[in-house]
């Protein structure tokens, strides 16, 4: 092993560890790796940036924009809302229709975007059927990944794999080259989901909002006493927020309608009963505050925080939202959106203290209070997804038809060879922007830039592995280990290796890391490299075993899942896909 090989493999190990522990954002980690490769003399600066000027990046950006336009014009919402009407009220039939629709849409849109679109319909279907939400959201995430195996643009992983294949001397993937295998994988997977989800996933009875977020534990009632200096003062001048760090969520007043989500100009009266949110140590200070008294014998609930004009809703940051990695305080959440966050659900725990100082992560669910007009505005924000059965974007017949036709034209032009697929999709993306299907101000918000940075950087990392011979070094080790099992054993070995790496790493990263090794191993074993490249590409989409894949992370919180739930439903599905790949790939792409 040379120094250069050791450096590249050391960086690879470090990348896997840091991605698994999430110590650094993946985009920052990618840039640091590129700097290290340049500093070590492995790559020149020009080579390090090669991945960012490739057609792969243009195709990726164009796909993100078109996906957003289809959502914005109401096309995907229309499909999601039709599922329940078509399937009726039989749970398994509804689940089959939901999973099949999700997979079909995901064949042409980014997996994560499709999952975000179908989470609210999934929750709505579960509530109408009075079934556990957990029985519908994991199938949505799994179906989105299954559908991504059908076309080149079905997932960013396929786009990245195609780019590295071209870089390593193989012909890039054609638009529908994966379709024969992807369609079988999707069909088998959807049927499996419909048949076994209700058997394998436990029925978790939905809890009330009070139970889910522990509202009684962090809400208290404070009374404005007789002779209080606060009488006649507006809330903004009361000092409750500044001095006591308390947020007034509602005011109950004798002989009048409750004032829910009061504004800063609301004037306090004697005897006002205020429902406040605050930490225990801050509530203790009320005892020493003139004119206020805590009512310890009363127990406020979610019902006290709503009215005819004020609602409580759950929402989730979308994958490319600027909320991810930020605190509510940093982005002035209340001022920007006009709603108050009163609860945060993360994985299997509810966080009710210091919510404003918690850095949000993908999959977090916020419980927010706000007036209906503010909630309606919020439902149209691309940064968040409301977790209820609502229509986020009004169906616009003209714009939706325009978006679909432009997308179809781009697909047709790229697949028939009239122009390169990357430029055809990018041209369609520019068309939907210029024709008003997607507002220009939202373009930078809908592109998942972290994925763009990651794929461009990891493409350069694959180049570093090739330059140093690290890919050949690892390939020799793999060939020695799996040669006794024959070509099929070698193929299975790379499938399993890729599946394992997709757990701590992103799918695209796993494909870009394993692809050079698989191709060199095939050449060393005197086998054709293309079936190995196809196997790695398909395996990279099989991240069903743990909730590490973005689509799975997104449903983790809303579905109230446990870590082992993914393993229970995902392991058999992964084994079935492995069998399909071993049967079909060598048949369609001979070894």
User: What was the pLDDT predicted at 215?
Assistant: 54
Own/partner long-range contacts of 113-116 (Cβ < 8 Å, ≥24 apart): 113/64, 113/67, 113/68, 113/71, 113/319, 114/67, 114/76, 114/144, 114/147, 114/551, 115/140, 115/141, 115/144, 115/550, 115/551, 115/554, 115/555, 116/318, 116/319, 116/385, 116/554
Q: Cite the beta strand spans of 271-379 per DSSP E.
A: 273-277, 292-294, 310-317, 339-346, 349-351, 365-371
Contact 324, 395 (CB under 8 A): no
User: Is residue 195 located within the same domain as residue 225?
Assistant: no
User: Is residue 148 located within the same domain as residue 275?
Assistant: no
**Across-strand partners of 368?**
313, 341
Name, in order, each residue with C-beta under 8 angstroms of 226's C-beta and a sequence gap of 6 or more.
270, 271
Percent of the chain past pLDDT 90, that is, above it, reads 13
Residue with more model confidence, 39 or 290: 39
> What are phi and psi for residue 352, nearest 5 degrees?
-115, -5
- Which of 334, 355, 386 represents a domain boundary (last residue)? 386
Alpha-carbon Rg for the chain in angstroms: 26
User: Is residue 326 located within the same domain as residue 240?
Assistant: no
User: What was the pLDDT predicted at 205?
Assistant: 57
* Structural domain includes residue 401: no
Q: Among 73-82, 117-126, 245-254, 319-328, which stretch is predicted with the lowest mean pLDDT?
A: 73-82
Q: Among 74-88, 250-264, 372-386, 456-470, which stretch is predicted with the lowest mean pLDDT?
A: 74-88
pTM beyond 0.75 = no
DSSP 8-state class, residue 353: S
**Across-strand partners of 260?**
250
Q: Cite the beta strand spans of 289-372 per DSSP E.
A: 292-294, 310-317, 339-346, 349-351, 365-371
User: Is residue 103 located within the same domain as residue 191?
Assistant: yes
pLDDT of 351 strictly over 70: no
**What mean pLDDT is predicted for residues 336-341?**
83
User: Is residue 50 located within the same domain as residue 165?
Assistant: yes
* Of residues 217, 219, 211, 235, the one with CA closest to residue 304: 219
Residue with more model confidence, 459 or 174: 174
Q: What is the residue-averaged pLDDT of the chain?
A: 80
* Structural domain includes residue 474: yes
User: What was the pLDDT predicted at 224?
Assistant: 87
DSSP result, 501-551: HTTTS-HHHHHHHHHHHHHHHHHHTT--SHHHHHHHHHHHT---SSTTSHH
- Which of 258, 288, 305 represents a domain boundary (last residue)? 305
User: Is residue 486 located within the same domain as residue 520?
Assistant: yes
**What mean pLDDT is predicted for residues 172-186?**
93
User: Is residue 54 located within the same domain as residue 119?
Assistant: yes
3-state secondary structure of 80: helix
**Which tokens hold the place of 253?**
């007043």
Total Cβ atoms within 10 A of residue 318 = 23
* Of residues 65, 56, 107, 60, the one with CA closest to residue 435: 65
* Structural domain includes residue 120: yes
Name, in order, each residue with C-beta under 8 angstroms of 466's C-beta and a sequence gap of 6 or more.
168, 516
**What mean pLDDT is predicted for residues 115-135?**
78
User: Is residue 199 located within the same domain as residue 268?
Assistant: no
Confidence of residue 383 (pLDDT cuts 50, 70, 90): confident
Confidence of residue 392 (pLDDT cuts 50, 70, 90): very low
* Structural domain includes residue 439: yes
User: Is residue 193 located within the same domain as residue 285?
Assistant: no
User: How many folded domains does the chain comprise?
Assistant: 3
User: What was the pLDDT predicted at 391?
Assistant: 43
* Structural domain includes residue 483: yes
* Structural domain includes residue 391: no
User: What was the pLDDT predicted at 504?
Assistant: 62
**What mean pLDDT is predicted for residues 424-437?**
87
Total Cβ atoms within 10 A of residue 463 = 21
- Which of 245, 273, 305 represents a domain boundary (last residue)? 305
* Structural domain includes residue 400: no
**What mean pLDDT is predicted for residues 88-92?**
75
User: Is residue 439 located within the same domain as residue 381?
Assistant: no
- Distance spanning both ends of the chain, measured CA to CA: 30
Total Cβ atoms within 10 A of residue 390 = 14
pLDDT of 214 strictly over 60: no
DSSP result, 385-444: EE-SS--SS---HHHHHHHHHHHHHHHHHHHTTSS-HHHHHHHHHHHHHHTTSS-GGGHH
* Structural domain includes residue 399: no
User: What was the pLDDT predicted at 571?
Assistant: 92
pLDDT of 153 strictly over 70: yes
User: What was the pLDDT predicted at 64?
Assistant: 81
Mean pLDDT comparison of 19-28, 42-51, 254-263, highest-scoring range? 42-51
Which domain covers residue 350, as residue numbers?
A: 310-386
Residue with more model confidence, 397 or 106: 106
CA angle 145, 148, 152 (to 5 degrees): 155
pLDDT of 151 strictly over 60: yes
> What are phi and psi for residue 577, nearest 5 degrees?
-65, -40
- C-alpha distances in angstroms, 465 versus 26, 51, 167, 515? 19, 14, 12, 11
**Which tokens hold the place of 17?**
């560890």
Which helix (H) or strand (E) covers residue 222, if one does?
A: strand 219-224
User: Is residue 457 located within the same domain as residue 317?
Assistant: no
**What mean pLDDT is predicted for residues 407-435?**
83
Q: Among 57-66, 299-308, 314-323, 351-360, which stretch is predicted with the lowest mean pLDDT?
A: 299-308
pLDDT of 218 strictly over 50: yes
pLDDT of 297 strictly over 70: no
CATH number assigned to the domain comprising residue 361: 3.30.70.1450
User: What was the pLDDT predicted at 354?
Assistant: 65
Contact 402, 435 (CB under 8 A): yes
Angle between helices 397-415 and 421-434 (to 10 degrees): 160
User: What was the pLDDT predicted at 116?
Assistant: 76
User: Is residue 9 located within the same domain as residue 140?
Assistant: yes
Q: What is the dihedral of CA 97, 101, 104, 110, to 10 degrees?
A: -140
* 240-261 residue pLDDT tens: 777 777 788 888 887 777 787 7
């Amino acid at each position: 092993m040379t120094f250069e090989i050791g450096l590249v493999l050391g960086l690879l190990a470090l990348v896997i560890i840091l991605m698994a522990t999430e110590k650094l954002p993946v985009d920052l980690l990618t840039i640091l790796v590129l700097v290290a490769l340049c500093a070590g003399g492995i790559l020149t600066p020009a080579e390090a940036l090669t991945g960012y000027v490739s057609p792969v990046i243009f195709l990726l950006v164009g796909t993100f924009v078109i996906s957003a336009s289809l959502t914005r014009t109401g096309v995907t919402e229309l499909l999601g809302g039709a599922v329940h009407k078509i399937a009726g009220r039989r749970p398994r039939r509804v689940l089959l229709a939901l999973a099949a629709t999700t997979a079909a849409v995901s064949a042409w849109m980014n997996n994560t975007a499709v999952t975000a679109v179908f989470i609210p319909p999934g929750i709505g279907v579960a509530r109408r059927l009075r079934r556990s939400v957990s029985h519908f959201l994991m199938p949505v995430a799994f179906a989105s990944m299954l559908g991504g195996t059908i076309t080149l643009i079905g997932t960013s992983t396929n786009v990245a794999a195609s780019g590295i294949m071209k870089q390593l001397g193989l012909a890039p993937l054609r638009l529908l080259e994966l379709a024969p295998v992807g369609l079988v994988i999707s069909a088998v997977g959807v049927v499996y989901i419909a048949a076994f989800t209700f058997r394998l996933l436990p029925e978790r009875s939905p809890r009330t909002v009070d139970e889910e977020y522990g509202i009684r534990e962090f809400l208290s009632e404070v009374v404005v006493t007789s002779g209080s200096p606060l009488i006649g003062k507006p809330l903004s001048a009361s000092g409750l927020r500044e001095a006591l760090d308390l947020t007034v969520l509602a005011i109950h007043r004798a002989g009048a309608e409750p004032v829910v989500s009061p504004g800063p100009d609301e004037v306090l009266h004697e005897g006002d009963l205020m429902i406040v949110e605050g930490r225990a140590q801050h509530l203790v200070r009320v005892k020493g505050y003139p004119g206020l008294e805590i009512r310890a014998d009363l127990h406020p609930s979610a019902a006290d925080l709503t009215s005819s004009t004020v609602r409580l809703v759950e929402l989730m940051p979308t994958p490319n939202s600027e909320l991810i990695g930020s605190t509510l305080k940093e982005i002035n959440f209340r001022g920007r959106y006009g709603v108050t966050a009163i609860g945060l659900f993360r994985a299997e725990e509810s966080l009710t203290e210091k919510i404003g100082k918690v850095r949000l992560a993908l999959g977090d669910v916020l419980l927010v209070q706000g007036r209906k007009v503010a909630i309606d505005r919020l439902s149209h924000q691309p940064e968040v997804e409301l977790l209820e059965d609502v229509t986020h974007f009004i169906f616009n017949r003209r714009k939706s038809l325009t978006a679909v036709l432009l997308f179809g034209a781009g697909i047709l032009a790229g697949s028939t060879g009239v122009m390169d697929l990357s430029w055809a999709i990018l041209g369609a993306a520019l068309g939907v922007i210029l024709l008003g299907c997607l507002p220009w101000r939202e373009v930078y918000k809908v592109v998942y830039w972290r994925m763009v940075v990651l794929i461009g950087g990891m493409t350069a990392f694959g180049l570093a592995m090739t330059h140093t011979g690290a890919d050949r070094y690892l390939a020799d080790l793999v060939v020695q280990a799996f040669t006794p099992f024959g070509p099929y054993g070698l193929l299975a070995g790379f499938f399993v290796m890729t599946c394992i790496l997709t757990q701590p790493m992103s799918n695209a990263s796993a494909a870009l890391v394993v692809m050079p090794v698989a191709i060199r191993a095939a050449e060393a074993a005197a086998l054709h490299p293309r079936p190995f490249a196809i196997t790695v590409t398909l395996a990279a989409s099989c991240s069903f075993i743990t909730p590490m894949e973005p689509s799975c992370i997104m449903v983790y919180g809303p579905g109230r899942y446990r870590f082992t739930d993914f393993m229970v439903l995902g392991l058999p599905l992964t084994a079935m896909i492995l069998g399909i790949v071993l049967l079909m790939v060598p048949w369609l792409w001979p070894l």
